[in-house]
Every structure is written in C-alpha cells, then in structure tokens.
Chains A and B, each alone.
Chain A
Amino acid sequence: MSAPMLEVRGLKAYYGSAQALFGLDFAVEKGGVTALLGANGAGKTTTLRALSGLIRREGDIRLQGRPIGALSAEDIARLGVAHVPDGRGTFTDLTVEENLRLGAYVRSDRSGVRRDFDRVFGYFPQLAERRPQQAGTLSGGEQQMLAISRALLMRPNLLMLDEPSFGLAPLVVAEIFRILGAINRDEGVSMLIVEQNASLALDLADSALLIETGRVALSGPSKAIRVDDAVRRAYLGY
C-alpha cells in the first residue's frame, strides 16, 4: 500500500517556551477525511499550525512519505498543503477576485487556473457575483466560502480546515459541509478537519481522533468514535 497523504508521529509543538502538543500520532489517508475533535484549548488549532509550519514543532511529519517537518510555511504550502486558518485568513482590503488569484499565486499553468476559477464558482456561485467586491465586506459564510475557494485554487493534495462552521448559521454550515463532501468525493482531495461540531465532522470523516490537552485521547474509524460513550456524552450531547 502506498504511503498515506499525511503521516504524523510524535508531533510536539511550542508557543515560545510553552509546550502545547505532547506527541501526537495520526494519519490522513489518500483521499480520506480525518476529523480532529476536542474541547477548547485541547490543541486542535495548534496541531494545524504546527503541520503547516507556522509555529515551532518537533516530530516526524510526512506528506506522501516525504518529510516536511523542517520546511518553512511557504515551502509546505508550495507542496500542496492548503491551510484554511481559524478566522478564515481573508485579505480584507483586497477584492474577492484578488483573494482567489492569491490562492493560485505559485502556479504557472494559466489555463488550469482559469479552469479552477470556474470550478470554485461552480461550488460557490455567490462568489462569482461578488468578484470585484472588497472581501472584508462579505458575510461570515461568504468569507468561509472564499477561504475554501482560495485553498482549492492551490490545487491542494491536503486541505486542512480550522473550524469551518465557526460563527455561521446552521443552514450555511450544512451547505458548506455538503460542498466539502462533494469536493472530497469528486476530486479526491484529502482533508484534515478541525471541528467543535463533532457530529457534522464525523459525518464527513472516515477516521477521527480526539485530543485532550495536547495528547491523543482516542482515535479510530469515525463510526467507532461516534458510538464511543465518552465522546457521545462530551461532544455529541446525547
């Protein structure tokens, strides 16, 4: 069997001298979706930041077998890791169109980029109408769609999403998760998704892990995680 899209062993991360992650092990299969669950402050966002090289980290991180633990954030992005950060990372002063063009910044295949523009406008038609608009004036849901679209224009191998449901109305959240599912199915983009809304994330994911204070508390196929009593009580609420 070929190497997983992402394989992480003993991931530790630090903010200054404070250690936030204490050795995580997990993987994202090729074409798979892994959900990263946990309470506030457990280290979910930190895990994504460590993987994309934004903070100091240690451990063995491999993208399709290739070690990326020592690379800079720019180089990791150039290898096809698209990180949709918490707060969506919108370039608020720039237009919607410019935000999307930045997603394709490192690509040189012009016709491919044009096709990908059409592709993301197919997923998110309302962005097409707002192309010339200043991105900071979009609604929260539209900014989340813009952030996902910007990531898709990178032609990612691995899409990392940090709480795509944050602060959005339930209908908008359902729509975004439906589209994420379609992107995963139709294009085979592997995903690592951080979510507070465990139920939604487990619907989308094939495997999941639960982290508590920087350590993996539980991991396995999402079906098994879903029926785990502790997870049910703490995160699914029934």
Chain B
Amino acid sequence: MNEFLHQLASGLALGGVYAIMALALVMIYQATQLVNFAQGEMAMFSTYFAWKLMDMGWPYWRAFAATVLISFAGGVVIERLVVRPFAKAPVLASVIVFIGLALIFNALAGWLYGYSVTSFDTPFSGRPWFGNVYMSAHESGAVAVSLCVLALVYAFFRFTPLGLAMRAAAQNPVSSRLVGIRVGWMLAIGWGLAAAIGAIAGMMAAPIVYLDPNMMAGILLYSFAGAVLGGIDSPFGAALGGFAVGVLENLVGAYAVGAEVKLSVALAIIVGVLVWRPSGLFGRRLVARV
C-alpha cells in the first residue's frame, strides 16, 4: 500500500509538468488549430539557459525569473520571424516548420552545452513538506508551482482585458479586428506565454529527469497525451489530463509494463482517445444557434 501511494504521489509531480505543458499546447492550438511540436525543445533550451545562469553564479529564483522573461520574449520573436510567414500556408508547411524548429533547438543545445546528462538544481530541497512521506520536497514544490501556473493563466484569461482579447482573437479574428484588437500581436503574445510556461515546465522537470538535449521528448509526448485525453480544445481538461497521465504513467510503469516501455502508455492513450472519444473527456460540444 505504501509503495502504491508513493508511486501515485510521485506521478503527480511530473503530472504537474505535463499539465502545464498540455496547457501551453492547447493555447497555441486554440488560436491556430496547430500543435506546436517544437514546444518541448523550446522548453529544454530555456532550461539550459537557466542552468547556464546558475552556473554563472546566479541564485535560483533570479535565474528562474530571468529565464521565464527571456523565454517569453523568445516565443514572441519566434512567432514573428518564423511562424507568422506561414500563417496562410497549408497545415503541413506549418508542421514542417515546427519540426524544423525542434531539430534546430535540439542541435543548438547539443552544440552549445554538450550531450552529456547534467543534474539541475531545485529550490525545494531538504525535508519533505508537511510531513508528506510519499513525496520529496522537490516533487511537492513542482506540484505547487504547476498549480500556481494554472491558477495564474486562468486568472489572466478570465479577468484581464488582454486575456479576453486573446480569447476573442482566437475564436473570431475578423470580429476582433473590427473592434480594434491587433490579432497578429495576440498570437505572438500567445507564443510568448506558451514559451514561458514551457520554461517553467522544463525547470520543474529537470531535477527529476536530469538535463540533456533530449529530456523533453518524452515529456512532450505525455503532455500531448494529457491534452488529447482532457480535450485539445479545453484548457481545464488538458491540465487535468496532464495530471492523470502523470499518475497513470507512473503506476503502469511500476506495476504493469516496467519503466523501459512505459512511454508506449502515452501512445496507447493518444490512439485510444482518438478512436473512442475524439473530443476528449472535457472537449466541449459547442452550443450555437445560427
């Protein structure tokens, strides 16, 4: 029983990472109907950036904040320079651009920082939180950070005029332009937000999975599985799906198939959901009168 609870709890830690990565995927998807396959590699690159800052002697939270801000700016620049020219191109062209971006960031990280596996600091060290014997301090901290990110993103989209404008631009670009919203910039800000969220995900994951240029490949796959499970057009569902996949992955890895092949759990979830319930658990069926 103890062992089971331990597996369950530690699944939540990476589940939080999947949840916020899934949220980042959904944000881009809602605005463009495209899945950003470079999301993981961008997050990995951000994590290396944070590692480099700490290596230069920056304290953790200062490096964390700087990385989030730089990643936001980087996301905006990538949208403007690389993604935007393909806005009216066929879907496949955009997919190729995303794959190209992923390869570039992967190779760039390897070239700049090497391919050896490196450890990554956590700000949550020491004794487990609240006498929680099932989770390490970092695992508890990662869950807390993920929940904070989810709450902040929710509040941003729900309560700020900019968040409202971004939702409007995603669902009806023409009407948005007619009330004066600069739709192109909303998309760029969306990319910035997604990149910033990805950076946080990377920094929370790296102490668990260790830092190397391929660290996010599996994580992106699990996150995508979480997004599909919850419903790719539902931010709430995607986040919940991310947590669920994290727990499921850990349990199945521990009790059913073993750690070596547990990545196929993600594939099984993706295929299963798409076959039996393509809109996911929380995918909305929109009510509209025309």
Residues of A at under 8 Å CB distance from B? 52, 54, 72-75, 77-78, 82-83, 85, 89-94, 98, 101-103, 105-106, 134, 136-140, 143, 150, 154
Those of B162-209 within 8 Å (CB) of chain A: 164-165, 167-168, 171-172, 174-183
Shortest Cβ distance from B170 into A: residue: A93
Known: A74-B182, A106-B179. A89 touches B287 (CB 8 A): no
A-B contacts besides A93-B167, A106-B180, 8 pairs, CB < 8 Å: A73-B178, A74-B181, A94-B171, A102-B164, A103-B179, A136-B289, A140-B289, A154-B179
CB of B179, distance to nearest CB on chain A (Å): 5
What's the Cα separation between A93 and B234 when bound, in Å?
12
- Count of interface residues, chain B, beta-carbon cutoff 8 Å: 21
B165 touching A89, Cβ below 8 Å: no
- Which single residue of chain B is at the shortest CB-CB distance from A88? B175
Question: Can you list 5 A-B contacts (CB < 8 A)?
Answer: A72-B177, A92-B172, A105-B161, A136-B288, A136-B289
Pick the contact of B289 from A52, A74, A78, A137 — CB < 8 Å? A137
Please give the distance in Å from B156's CB to the nearest CB on chain A: 14
B92 within 8 A of A: no
Q: Which residues of A contact B174 (CB under 8 A)?
A: 54, 85, 89
Are the C-beta atoms of A92 and B177 separated by less than 8 Å? no
A102, B289: Cβ atoms under 8 Å? no
One of B168, B178, B181 near A94 (C-beta < 8 A): B168
Contact of B161 among A73, A75, A77, A101 (CB under 8 A): A101
**B286 within 8 Å of A by Cβ?**
yes
Q: Which residues on A sit within 8 Å (CB–CB) of B175?
A: 85, 89-91
Docked complex Cα distance between A82 and B288 (Å) = 24
CB distance from A55 to the nearest CB of B (A): 11
**B172, closest chain A residue (CB):** A91
List the 3 closest pairs (A to B, CB-CB), nearest first: A89-B175, A136-B288, A77-B180
B179 touches A150 (CB 8 A): yes
**Contact bitstring B82-105, A, C-beta under 8 A = 1, else 0:** 000000000000000000000000
B154–chain A nearest beta-carbon distance, Å: 15
CB-CB under 8 A for A136 and B164, given A73-B178, A91-B172:
no
Pick from B161, B179, B288: contact of A92, CB under 8 Å: B288
Q: How far is the CA of A77 from the CA of B181 in the complex (A)?
A: 9
B288 contact set on A, CB distance < 8 A? 92, 136-137
On whether the beta carbons of B178 and A83 are closer than 8 Å, the reply is: yes
- CB-CB < 8 A to A73: which residues of B? 177-178
A78 contacts B180, C-beta separation under 8 Å: yes
Complex Cα distance, B289 from A52, in Å, reads 27
Find out whether the CB atom of A91 lies under 8 angstroms from the CB atom of B168. yes
B41 shortest CB reach to chain A, Å: 31
Within 8 A of A (CB), among B107-135: none
**What CA separation (Å) do A197 and B172 show in the bound complex?**
28
Q: For residue B179, which residues in chain A have a CB less than 8 angstroms away from its CB?
A: 77, 102-103, 105-106, 150, 154
In the complex, what's the smallest C-beta–C-beta distance from B161 to chain A, in angstroms? 6
**In the complex, chain A residues whose CB is within 8 Å of the CB of B164:** 94, 98, 101-102, 105
Q: Could you tell me if B177 and A77 are in contact, using CB atoms closer than 8 angstroms?
A: yes
Q: With A89-B172, A102-B168, A134-B287 as known contacts, state yes or no: A74 contacts B177, CB within 8 Å.
A: yes
Set A75, A101, A137: member contacting B287, Cβ < 8 A? A137
Q: B236 CB to closest chain A CB, in angstroms?
A: 14
Contact A52 B181 (CB under 8 A): no
Question: Do B178 and A52 touch (CB < 8 A)?
Answer: yes
Bound complex: CA of A85 vs CA of B172, how far in Å? Answer: 12
